[in-house]
Amino acid sequence: SFQTEGMRALITGAASGIGAEMARVFAASGARVALNDLDHDACEALRLSLPDPDRHSTTVFNVADSAAVATGVVQASESIGGINAVVNCAGIWRPRDDGPIGRVSDDTWNLIIAVNLTGTFNVCREAVKLMDKKGGCSIVNLASVVAIAGWDKLSAYTASKGGVASFSRGLAVECAPRGIRVNCICPGVIETPMTAATLEYSKPQVLPIGRLGRPEDIARTALFLSSDWSSFTTGVVLAVDGGFSAA
Ligand code: NAD
C-alpha cells in the first residue's frame, strides 16, 4: 500500500464533492487531514464522520482572500502538526453566466478567476513557506480537462483552469530543488454537487470509458501524487477523464 505514514494534508474545498472524498480517502489511508472550506458546518460534519476525528481539523477561510489564507494555512498546519501535502480542490463554475462570451460580465470573470486561479496561488504561496526545504512535500492542484481540450461557452472557467495548469508546471520547476513536488489533476466530468445541478453543460454524454467519473477516481489519483510512490513525478498535468481528452 501507499506510504502515507506521517502524511499531513491540507485539503481546500473539503466540504463537498471531490474535496470531501479526498478527505475520506486520505484519512482512511492514515493521513492526518486539515479540512478547509467556506462551509464550517459541512466540514465539521465530515470530520466527525471520519474514523478518529480528533486527528483531523477544520479551518474556515476563503481561498480568494489572501490575508485570510495567510492566517488560515498557518492555523490549519498547526492544527495537525505541520503540513507536508496540500490538495487545492476549492473551486467554482458558473456555466449559465460564463458564456457565450458577449454575456460574460466583469463580475463573473473576476469571481471565477479570483477563486479558481488566485485562490490556488494564495494557498500555494503560504504552503510553500511552511514546506520550504523540508523535503518529501507535495502539492496537488485541481484544474480541469478544459485546460487540455477546447470547451466552448466557458470563458472564465477555462482561463482559470488553464492558468492553474501552467502555474502548477512552473511552480514544480521552482520548487523541485526545495523538496516540494507540484502536480496538477485535470478531472473530466465527475458526478458531484457541482455538476449535478448543471449536467446539461457537461459536454461528454458518452466517454470512451463508458461512465462518468466518481470523486474517488480523483481522490485516489491525488493520494498517489501526494505519496512517496510518486516521488519522481513533478510538473505533471494529468487528465483523469475517462479518455475524453484522448478521443
Ligand atoms: P463542489 O462544488 O462539490 O465542491 C467545491 C467546494 O469548494 C465547495 O464545498 C465550496 O464551498 C468550496 N469553495 C468554493 N469557493 C471557495 C472559496 N472561495 N474558499 C474555500 N472554499 C471554497 O465541486 P467539485 O465538483 O467537488 O469540484 C472540486 C474541484 O474540482 C473544483 O476546483 C472543480 O473546478 C474541479 N473540477 C470538478 C469537475 C467535476 O466534474 N466535478 C471537473 C473538473 C474539475
CATH class of domain segment(s) 8-242: alpha beta
Instruction: Say whether pLDDT at 71 is over 70.
Output: yes
Residue 51 backbone zone (phi > 0: left; psi -120 to 50: alpha; other: beta) = beta
Output the CA–CA distances (angstroms, integers) from residue 1 to 29, 55, 223, 232, in the order listed: 9, 21, 11, 17
What average pLDDT does range 139-147 have in this prediction?
98
Give the per-residue pLDDT at 206.
Answer: 77
pLDDT at 122: 99
Nearest residue by C-alpha to atom 2 in ligand 1: 194
Which band of pLDDT confidence, cut at 50, 70 and 90, is reported for residue 2? low
In tens, the pLDDT along 164-207 reads 999 999 999 999 999 999 999 999 999 998 888 888 887 766 78
For residues 85, 123, 195, 155, the Cα torsion angle rounded to the nearest 10 degrees is -130
Residue % of the chain over a pLDDT of 70: 98
112 pLDDT exceeds 60?
Answer: yes
Ligand 1 atom 29: residue of nearest CA: 89
- Report CA(187)–ligand 1 centroid distance (Å): 11
CA distance 238 to 2: 19
Which of the listed residues 11, 12, 37, 205 should we mutate to test ligand 1's pocket, taking the one with most ligand atoms within 8 A of CB?
37
Distance of CA 13 from the midpoint of ligand 1 (Å): 6
The three three-digit cell numbers of residue 17, written as one number = 464533492
Average pLDDT rounded to a whole number, residues 101-129 = 98
Listing from the earlier edge strand, what are the strands of the sheet with 57-60? 57-60, 32-37, 8-12, 85-88, 137-142, 180-187, 237-240
List the helix and strand counts (H, then E) for the chain. 8, 7
- pTM to 2 decimals? 0.98
Q: The C-alpha cell of 178 is what? A: 526545495
Q: Where are the domains of the chain?
A: 8-242
- Distance (Å, whole) CA 186 – CA 17: 15
CA of 56 to the centre of ligand 1 (A): 20
Nearest CA to ligand 1 atom 16: 90
Q: So which residues are the catalytic ones?
A: 157
> What is the average pLDDT value for the chain, to the nearest integer?
96
